Amino acid sequence: MTEHADGSVEVHLADTHPGREDPEYLRRRGEIAGAALAWERGSQPVPTITYSEREHEVWCTVSAELAPLHERYAHSEYLAAKERLALPTDHVPQLAEVGERLVPLTGWTYVCAPGLVPLRDFYADLGSRTFNSTQYLRHDSQPLYTPEPDIIHEVIGHANQLASPRFAAITQAAGRASLRLETQEAMKLVADVFWFSIEFGVMREHGEAKAYGAGILSSYGEIQEFGHMEIRELDLADMGTLNYDITAYQPVLFAAESLTHLEDVVGEFFASVDDDAAAALRAEAGRRGLVPG
């Protein structure tokens, strides 16, 4: 993003972004980002965005298309949390509304972000049960695709997940872990374990691999493809060092045998990891040939 002297905000999109050549979409993205940049945290309520009919239509389309896929492919813990949260499907919810629904369930709130948040800031907020979310929507020419996290990913993916006390606790533990870590290497390892669990995790249920990761459950394409990917058992050294491409479907995923198994392995890792433990995992990955050198 570029903030100009006149107060306007310009958002720079990748050349392959569907909205890259749409001046109205670029203007709208800048407008929404500007609202987040101008927001004074702690002294003002999260900005209310007046969404257009086209933006509401994108939300409605994605909600309708994902609903039957969730019933088929999502883990029952996510489905139960989704039912309790009861997000609207006929309009884009305000972040304040999402927080009002979450607080009685798990104590989580949502705050706005203009785009990507620095890693340590993002995780520090997770530690206090605060989720940084974008407020813009993907381009309406491709409502079932986005090359970047938008409010659909942040809310349909993560808020439904955070309505589960058990998923919420694991997410908070990851945030608290970041406050103990001093090295960037340790921070990256925690973020990568988070990627392969909270973002792109799967879990066995009744003999099938079911998705609970927000990145899978907010993606129309990924949710139908994850079952065909290589699914490995939970392995912290592998999860914390495996290279991945955020712009493509994830070819390797990691499955917990149950929610208790996820808590015992990933949840306990987040709850106890420090710089020494992270370094030991990286060294183990090296010995096993999981990372170069």
Q: Is 218 annotated as catalytic?
A: yes
- 63, 139, 153, 164: the catalytic one is 153
Q: Which residues contact 161 (CB under 8 A, 6 or more apart)?
A: 78, 81, 167, 168, 171, 198, 212, 214, 217
How far apart are the C-alpha atoms of 13 and 234, rounded to whole Å?
Answer: 35
- 199, 205, 222, 263: the catalytic one is 199
Cα 100 to Cα 60, 86, 110, 189, distances in angstroms? 21, 12, 9, 32
Q: Is 128 annotated as catalytic?
A: no
Residue whose structure tokens are 């609207």: 88
Question: Could you tell me the maximum CA-CA distance found in the chain, to the nearest angstrom?
Answer: 58
Cα 245 to Cα 91, 103, 144, 282, distances in angstroms? 32, 34, 19, 20
Q: Is 153 annotated as catalytic?
A: yes
How far apart are the C-alpha atoms of 138 and 17, rounded to whole Å?
Answer: 9
Whether residue 249 contacts residue 225, with contact meaning beta carbons closer than 8 Å, is answered with yes
- 70, 75, 139, 158: the catalytic one is 158
- 55, 218, 219, 222: the catalytic one is 218
Residues catalogued as catalytic: 153, 158, 199, 218
